[in-house]
Amino acid sequence: MRPLPDPATAPARPSRARQLRRWLLRVLWIAVLIVAGGAFWNSRWAAVPRAMWEISRLPAPTALPVPVDGVRARQVADTFGAPRGADRTHAGVDIFAARGTAVRSATRGIVTDVREGGLGGRQVWIQGPAMERYYYAHLDDWREGLERGEVVDAGTLLGYVGDTGNAKGTPPHLHWGIYGADGAYDPLPLLRAWAARPALSPTP
């Protein structure tokens, strides 16, 4: 038979008032953390994580505008998959325009890279809807102030048509590619789908 505890040595149970104070203190701390987290999430410091969360939940587009000012979808040749050298194929489309023509983001997204080098020369990478990556290459120059981490909307100016990288000496153009989960895919059907949309009726 187990001996009964000695009342003189047994720990005293906290009073109800003390238990209530502890419970209220925990609730207060939880409320403070929730308010602080909400304030941070809605601040400018969280603009990129907020945009990344929003973009990751968007579906992949089924139609997109031509990202070069003044160019129509019917003017873009179907060159996706065409041979390029001995061991490459064309992983995008070439959109020809006069040097210096504005190049704009086709989607909302986040600038993940702004760099010069390799085949693409001056280039911009955008993380877009469904976490697909958009590649804008051979730029003559970038828009002043463009930098990694910038949140852009569809239509935001990224740079200007050029012939940098391995396009040097060819007619100025934008090489535009889209990379999904399985790699590059043909963006031309998206441009044509955008062009085929019914015109908006004028507002009465």
104-142 pLDDT per residue, tens: 999 999 999 999 999 999 999 999 999 999 999 999 999
Does residue 40 register a pLDDT over 60?
no
Does residue 11 register a pLDDT over 70?
no
Does residue 5 register a pLDDT over 60?
no
Q: Is 46 exposed, middle or buried (0-12, 13-18, 19+ CB in 10 A)?
A: middle
What are the CA-CA distances from residue 140 to residues 69, 74, 102, 143, 173 (Å)? 15, 24, 10, 10, 9
Q: What is the mean pLDDT of the chain?
A: 86
Asked if 141 and 124 touch (Cβ cutoff 8 Å), the reply is no
pLDDT interval class at 1 (50, 70, 90): low
pTM of the predicted protein model: 0.76
pLDDT of residue 137: 97
More confident position, 4 or 73:
73
| For residues 166-195, average pLDDT | 96
